[in-house]
Structure 1
Amino acid sequence: MMKQAGFKLAALALLVGQGPAFAAQTCEQFGSVPAVNGTFLVQNNFYNPAPGGTQCIDVDVGTGAFTVTGNNSVPTNAAPGGYPSIYKGCHWGGCSKDSGMPQKVSDLSSVQSKFDVTPAGPGQWNISYDVWFAQTPTIDGQPDGTEVMVWINHSGVVSPAGQRTGDATINGMDFEVWTAPKGTAGFNDKWHIVSYVAKSPRNAVDFDLLPFFRDSHNRGLLEDNWYLIDVEAGTEPWQNGYPVKVNQFDVTVKTGGTPPDKIDPKKWYEVVNVNSSKCVDDAEFGVKNGAKVQQWDCNGTAPAKNQLWKFKPTGGGYYKVLVQQLKTLAWSTTNQGTTNGTPIQLWTYGGTGHQQWKAESLGNGAWKFVGKGSGKCLDVPAASKDNGVQLQIYDCNGTAAQSFKLIAH
């Protein structure tokens, strides 16, 4: 939704705190309170007040926990009353300290976050993340890239901007996906909107936000060369949305999507296809010869053993690629095939050419893998972005379907 067109550090009313922490209150429309020594900013962001409407935030400046109170009611088919929230990064020129943002999307390796809320009673509201991207590392004004919202809970009939265009399973949770490409929602003339609405609402999450960004990229609504500007977490109240308390919020942005010049044979890697943003995966956690090597949604910051791979040198720049699920199984062409379309499976490593792969850097942190026995590239058939597609070998052609990034763990 449209957010404030300004930023203002509030004139604060200091309240009695519990323990060593202090509380601060602001009822200013766009008032903002620094917390945890400026690591976070908590904003009232009351951008759509009804006549006579009120909204205030009471902030524990030592922890960032805050409570939103007020009296405001707006129609459910319009913008919410506001987005009182806590954030890290830069919002309309107001920046927290040492956030690690702006950060180029292609350089992200994880965006781990915790968010714990005590919501209001029955009404018309959501509990949500609001994450902003810009086409350049600009921190002032309206970002011109993508807005990614993640509704972890909501009440009533309210829904995101745009249209429901699909579903997704991310971090083990099922979501409705709503999209509003630039200019289609009536107010987003500069940016795309992608919203994920949890089908089974939660009041607390601890997960990686990066898989949501990858999914938005797969839908053509977020570019790798754009910049993550900030991560916000709060509530959008339309009706009966108070009081609500944010008990905890944290987010840590890590980079490392670009691997070193040489692959470290001691490390385990996620292998992520550049075109689909999906991980190379041992299908159904297979532990027998013939297990399918496929692409599947990445599991996040704690990948399962069936999505972790070790590259062990075999000589001449070639590697055997072993799965952590069963460390004797390696990428292999089926029946030692060398023709286009030969599927990739797992098989006990035996030292033959159909189980050895040369890793060739493509720059920008991407690699292609060329089979020793075939001279052909590891490939996602038809540049598919679907889960469950078995990988194959195919003539090397320089497309993103044959380009992979390595993320070390």
Structure 2
Amino acid sequence: MSSRFRASAAVVAVLALILGGTAQAESPVPDPTTMATTFADEFNAPAGTPVDGSKWQLETGDNVNNHERQFYTNSTSNAVHDGAGNLVITARRENPGNYQCWYGRCEYTSARLNTAGRFTQAYGRFEARMKLPRGKGMWPAFWMLGDNMGQVGWPQAGEIDIMENVGHLMNTVHGTLHGPGYSGSGGIGAAYNGPNFGDGFHTFAVDWAPNRITWYVDGNAYQTRTPADLGGRQWVFDHPFFLILNLAVGGYWPGDPDGSTVFPQQFVVDYVRVTTTSTGAPTGRITGLAGKCVDVANAGTANGTPIQLHDCNGNAAQNWTVAGDGTIRALGKCLDVNNNGANDGAAVVLWDCHGGANQKWATPDARDIVSISGNRCLDVTGNNSANGTRLQVWTCGGTENQKWNVPR
């Protein structure tokens, strides 16, 4: 299979500046109680909202090495929230084109997003729910590159293709590894044959552990790769990688669009989630501003009990479990954004655990605690470190009243 990385020199320069026989798997999808969310984008912004720049950057330019036909833009005409809980990446025919490509005036535009410089991770579960475009020349992908791209280049940095499809074969997706001595059409991977992936949403994932990567479609494991599959070649999947979503048009593998290809075409993404596996759900104090603790007011267990900042005292009201399902728990209940609030200032309270999005949190290494439902950060009201100051959610700003030390 063809490599997804072969980007233009301009894209390589940007990355350098930012980054300095198939085995059938038999292991089940991991028990979520052994996992914690580290990255999530649910794409729940209003219609017309651009890509979240705190999570993704939009690459621009063409791709001469792979002979793709599109020009990647940062325009909302090519990547935008649809207001129905999705990111829509749109490939459009541009005649005459406004951009210059390797072959002349560009005939198509599209979008390519990555998390370089914003989120990287080694090991865990990397998953997206998506509906694929269709037609000759369409080439959607969900994939990853090593965060040392700027130092060692491709393919030494490694590439993990979680899902690739060529639009004239809508019942088949591919998962592939690329590394030194097994890149481009020599990548190590397998195909999964299933339904027409353009007719509805499907979930694509990898579970990545030391010396082992397993691919899934809709929870069905279809291949596992280990160093033994490389025939003595170097396994380079032992360091952090960043995520990429893109929709290419044309190129060596899918071929160019033809008269049967209808434009525009849409690659629709419901969510992207990353979790990290652990030996058990981490438990302990969550400390923040002035070294104080996240505390359940008066150790109350009634629904709606406020969450506050308080001197650390070691009692159960300050003993939090960062559970694998994305919840954060104390006293047998969950950290909850009151009334499912998604606006700045929504109160954070204790509530019966019910699995709703307003009880799901991401805890990235950047020390934010981010509400999945509103993409806002756990925040100390008014930057006030006094005992009893209530906690709320607020637009993430990287300030000290939004930074926390979370059990890991």
Same fold by TM-score greater than 0.5: no
TM-score range normalised by the length of the shorter chain = 0.3 to 0.5
Which structure has the bigger radius of gyration? 1
Where relative contact order (Cα < 8 A, 6+ residues apart) is larger, the structure is: 2
Instruction: Give the TM-score normalised by structure 2.
Output: 0.38
Higher strand share: 1
